[in-house]
Structures are given as structure tokens and as C-alpha cells.
Amino acid sequence: MKSLRQLLTGEDIIQLVIRVGLLGLLIIWTFLIIRPFVPILAWSGVLAVAFYPAFSWVAKILGGRPKTAAAILTLITLGIVIGPATWLGISAVDGVRELARQLGTGDLALQSAPERLKSWPLIGPWLFDLWEQTYNNIRAVLREVAPYLQPLAGPLLGLAGDAGVGTLQFLVSVFVAGFLFPHGPRLVAAGRGFLFRIVPEQSEHFLGLAGATIRAVAQGVIGVAIVQALLAGIGFKLAAVPSAGLLAFIVLLLSIVQIGAFLVLLPVIIWIWTAKDVTTALLLTVFLVLVGFLDTMLKPLVMGRGLTTPTIVIFVGVIGGTLAHGIVGLFIGPIILSVAWEMMMAWIRTEDRAEAGAGAGAGERAGQKADEA
């Protein structure tokens, strides 16, 4: 077989290099142009895939009017983003800025044990002593590590400053997702054709797996975490908890990485019982406990299949997505990384089955030859 150099003349090679160079330049240039819009397009695609079953149901109820159904879903989503999400986001930004200021000055404000705790029956004095010891120990540790925490003030302020841009990206993403809904079948066909050129034998399987993973993570992880954080933030605001928005944002992070919201809710509930009357504290405690168990109740309902993606993959997706794309990356990161993980594992399983099948076939042929001998 002749080599490529033998088949092509010098002029052909020059033309081939020029064409490849121009194609590479076009690809790089295109990427540089669309790079600022990558988070918006990615989040729009996630929203379109996650809410497409709801869109299909609404379109069917309206008698096959996809544009009207898309407009209704877009308005509902915009109402959520502009309303409670923005209200809670502004509170979270204020909390982050205050935390950044305290880190910058090296004076982190902590809540000392309230005297009211001593009057509680049985556990009151013990809880007061435990709180005081913890308060004193944490303050002593913070005084030692405060100089090392000060460099974190800059990134925190940068994150707070990106909140406005992130909100705008969310709004644009919702509009773009609304335009994508009616074109769902054609986009799926285009994705199927693209995958067919890469993995012809597994294109249909990979396409279904990607869609199922996006829905599982977007609805069962991101969606539940957002609902949980919003309700927790409402409870914190009603209880007049200091830095309510920041605490709700921490609930969001803990819920996304599958740690759970009770790490924040339990201290808040204890604080409520020290600062509020019994009736108010009891009502808020019941509400926050229900919020804490919300993920346990909702996940089986909204996740069509169990999430097999390891928690560490979601955690890395949260951190990496936030560092790469800001607030929007907080939600895009775990979804994209989960899809990549699931498809990689499916590809590995496919390769293993193919190798096992080839090994079994070789064994059978060897057995047949032995029998013939």
C-alpha cells in the first residue's frame, strides 16, 4: 500500500495543509465568538431537555399548540426566576459581601450562647456550656487562621459581583429554552445524527442515556435543591435569622452535593428556640424539618431512574462549573460532568461486553477445532 506522500504531489500536499489550516482557523474563530454564550446555550439546552415532558403535556392539553405551550412554560419559569429566586439571590449576595468584609478585616462575627438556654429543662445548662465552649474554641481558631482566610475575601466579592451577570444569563437562558421547545424533535434528530457519526452502534443508546441523565440531575438534584433552598430561605426570613440569604445559598450547595440541608437547618432551629416564643419556634421548626426531608420525598417522584453518578463527580462539577462559568456554572457543571461520566461508563461497559463476547466466540471455535481433531 502506497503512503499518502507517494499518492499526493507536492502541490496537493500544500493545498491540503492550507485547507486543514483554514478549517482549523474557522473552528477556533467560531469557538472564540460563541464562547461567551456557551453557559447560556448549555443551560438553555438543559432546561429544554428537563422540561420537555411538561411542555409536551401542556401542548397536548392545549390541543397541539406548541408555541402557546412554550410561551406558558417560559412565563412560569421567568416568574420563578424574577420573583423568589431574585429576592433570595439578593439576600445571598448581601450575606456573601458581609462575609467577605469580615474575612478582609479578620473579624468574623459569631453568635455567643444566649442566656435563655440556661432556663431550658434538663438539657438547657448542658447545651449552654457546649455552645459557650464551641464559641470560644472557634473564636480562638479563627484568630489564628484569620490572616490565611483574608485572601478569600477577593474571590467572594468577585462571586457576589457576578451575581448580576448570572441573573441576566438565567433570564436569557429561559427565553432561549422557550424557543427550543417547539423544535425539540428536530434537535433530537440532529443529536442522533451527530452521535451516529461518532458511535454508530450505540448512538441511540447514548442519546437516551444523555437525556435521562440530564433529567435525573436537573430535576432530582438541581431542581429539588433549588426548591429546598427557596423554602429554607423563606423560613429563615420569617424567623429573621441573620444572613438568611447566605444560609439558604449554603443549603443549596449542600443539597446539590448530596450532603443534606440539616447541617444548616439544625443550628438554625436551635437558634430559633433561643430567640422566639414557643408557638413561633414550634411552627418554624415543623416547617424547616419538612424542608429538610423534602429531598427524600421529592427525589423518588421526579427521578425516573436512580442516579448512579458518584457524589464526588457532582461535587467536582459544582466546584469546577462555578470556577469556570460563575453562578450559572454552579448548575451546569454537575449536569455536564454527570452526562460525561454516565456516557463514559456506558462506553466502557459496551467495550467490556464486546471483549467478553469475542473471548467466548474464540473459546467456542477452539472447542470445535478440538472436537474435530
Q: What is the pLDDT of residues 262-272, one digit of tens each?
A: 888 888 888 88
Nearest to 213 by CA among 77, 328, 345, 56: 345
Each residue of 5-47: pLDDT tens digit?
555 566 767 777 888 888 889 989 888 888 888 888 888 888 8
Each residue of 62-77: pLDDT tens digit?
888 888 888 888 888 8
**Distance between CA 39 and CA 166 in Å, rounded?**
10
**pLDDT level of residue 1 (50, 70, 90 thresholds):** very low
Exposure of 207 in the CB half-sphere (CA atoms within 13 A): 19
CA distances from 351 to 199, 211, 354, 373 (A): 12, 22, 5, 33
Nearest to 49 by CA among 223, 196, 171, 197: 223
Lowest mean pLDDT among 145-149, 174-178, 211-215: 145-149
Cβ contact 41:176 at 8 Å: yes
Nearest to 104 by CA among 158, 159, 149: 149
In three-state secondary structure terms, 309 is coil
Residues 284-312 have a mean pLDDT of: 78
pTM of the model: 0.71
Query: What is the DSSP track for 217-245?
Result: HIIIIIIHHHHHHHHHHHHHHHTT-TTHH
Longest dimension (CA), the chain: 95
Those residues whose C-beta lies under 8 Å from the C-beta of residue 335, and which sit 6 or more positions away, are 46, 213, 214, 217, 218, 222, 317
Cβ contact 224:255 at 8 Å: yes
Beta strands in the chain (DSSP E): none
- Residue 286: the pLDDT is 92
Residue 55 has pLDDT above 60, yes or no: yes
Residue 212 has pLDDT above 70, yes or no: yes
